[in-house]
């Protein structure tokens, strides 16, 4: 099974990298961009076909390692 | 004083630290590999040194914080043992839950490698007894991610409980945004845990301990630790 874990900074946490990207887009003349926040995407292959088990394993992975829940949120999608 | 330096792949300040520990305590520290499960018996101080453990992959310190040896370090700290976590070590200690907060990308996005001034906030801890409260010391920093942040409640607790030991300042000890090189909240350069036996700091006191290095301002930290164990013995 394929799955994706997306990790994003919580709102209110400063994101200097996102700000730099936002500035670069502006200097490239890319219009209409109000703001940018940078995050991470993990594409994970899960063994077996147990959807609930996959979600539990990914939650465990996100809580234990993929995200620092003090500053980051995560979202799990099992894409099948 | 019996010290142990934890070594992770990608760490590069462990020999500077070992040299400083040997110089100041007269004893060679034990170098402990990340895959080990135990610290040497009788260890007084564990040092988590600086560098780029695991290439700073995922988040600085995130992977090292989950290495086998860290369970032993956590137990050691729970039993009251002193832990000194410098630079990447500070990042690892935060990721391992030994200290609150997190070290984010420097506010100006640049890696900063230079001497800075630190105001020592307290002298009544094992880590700072070699200094006077309010004293300003000059030591190097070398990091891209040293911008300390924590939620408002945590910072209020750190401040209220006097757990900020070092702050970036001017040479006269004035805390000012111009001297807060990485943008850390409240210009925080070093903090201790609630129990006061784990210190995390971004600057490198171990790099200013011999005249040949230009300054010896870092000696106070090590001399204080050595004194602490002499008195305890």
Just list the catalytic residues of B.
87, 204, 206
Under an 8 A CB cutoff, do A68 and B105 touch? Answer: no
Distance, in Å, from the CA atom of A17 to the CA atom of A34, rounded to the nearest integer, reads: 15
pLDDT at B111 over 90: yes
Q: What is the mean pLDDT of residues B69-73?
A: 98
The least confident of A41-50, B80-89, B130-139 is A41-50
pLDDT at B70 over 80: yes
Distance, in Å, from the CA atom of B15 to the CA atom of B136, rounded to the nearest integer, reads: 26
Q: Which domains does chain B have, with CATH numbers?
A: 3-232 (3.40.50.880)
Under an 8 A CB cutoff, do A16 and B59 touch? Answer: no
On chain B, the residues whose CB falls within 8 A of the CB of A20 are 109
pLDDT at A12 over 80: yes
Calculate how close chain A gets to B98, using CA atoms only, in Å: 14
CB B213 within 8 A of CB B199: no
ipTM: 0.84
* Domain A2-78 CATH assignment equals 3.30.1280.10: yes
pLDDT in tens, B32-60: 999 999 999 999 999 999 999 999 999 99
Structure tokens that stand for B129 in this block: 């007894």
On chain B, the residues whose CB falls within 8 A of the CB of A22 are none
Provide Rg for chain B, Cα atoms. Answer: 16
* Band of residue B23 on the pLDDT scale cut at 50, 70, 90: very high
Structure tokens that stand for A21 in this block: 């990207």
Calculate how close chain B gets to A12, using CA atoms only, in Å: 10
Task: Map out the domains of chain A as residue ranges.
Answer: 2-78
Mutation site, B101, B105, B154, interface A, largest A CB count within 10 A? B105
| β partners of residue B114 | B141
Contacts 24+ apart (CB under 8 A), B151-160: B151/A70, B154/B100, B154/B101, B155/B101, B155/B185, B155/B186, B155/B188, B158/B100, B158/B188, B158/B191, B159/B186
What is B107-161 written as a DSSP string? Answer: TT-S-EEEEEEEEE--SSSTTTTTS-TT-EEEEEEEES--EEE--HHHHHHHHHT
Helices B219-232 and B14-25 sit at what angle, rounded to 10 degrees? 50
């Amino acid at each position: 099974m394929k799955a994706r874990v997306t990790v994003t900074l919580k709102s209110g946490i400063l994101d200097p990298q996102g700000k730099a990207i936002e500035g670069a887009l502006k200097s490239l003349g890319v219009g209409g961009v109000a703001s940018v926040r940078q995050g991470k995407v993990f594409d994970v292959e899960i063994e077996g076909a147990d959807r609930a088990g996959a979600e539990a394993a990914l939650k465990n992975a996100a809580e234990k390692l993929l995200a620092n829940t003090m500053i980051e949120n995560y979202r799990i999608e099992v894409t099948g | 004083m019996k010290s142990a330096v934890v070594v992770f792949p990608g760490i590069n300040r462990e020999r500077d630290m070992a040299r400083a520990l040997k110089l100041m305590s007269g004893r060679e520290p034990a170098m402990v590999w990340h895959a080990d499960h135990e610290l040497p018996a009788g260890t007084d101080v564990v040092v988590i040194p600086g560098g780029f453990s695991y290439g700073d992959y995922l988040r600085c310190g995130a992977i090292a914080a989950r290495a086998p040896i860290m369970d032993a370090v956590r137990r050691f700290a729970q039993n009251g043992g002193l832990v000194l976590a410098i630079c990447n070590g500070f990042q690892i200690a935060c990721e391992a839950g030994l200290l609150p907060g997190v070290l984010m990308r420097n506010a100006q996005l640049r890696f900063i490698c230079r001497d800075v001034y630190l105001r020592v906030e307290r002298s009544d801890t094992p880590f700072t007894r070699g200094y006077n409260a309010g004293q300003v010391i000059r030591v190097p920093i070398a990091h891209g991610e040293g911008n300390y942040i924590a939620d408002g409640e945590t910072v209020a607790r750190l401040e209220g409980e006097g757990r900020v030991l070092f702050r970036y300042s001017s040479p006269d000890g004035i805390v000012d945004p111009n001297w807060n090189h990485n943008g850390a909240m409240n210009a925080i350069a070093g903090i201790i845990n609630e129990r006061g036996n784990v210190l995390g700091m971004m600057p490198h006191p171990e790099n200013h301990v011999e005249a040949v290095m230009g300054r010896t301002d870092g000696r106070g930290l090590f001399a204080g630790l050595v004194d602490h164990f002499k008195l305890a013995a």
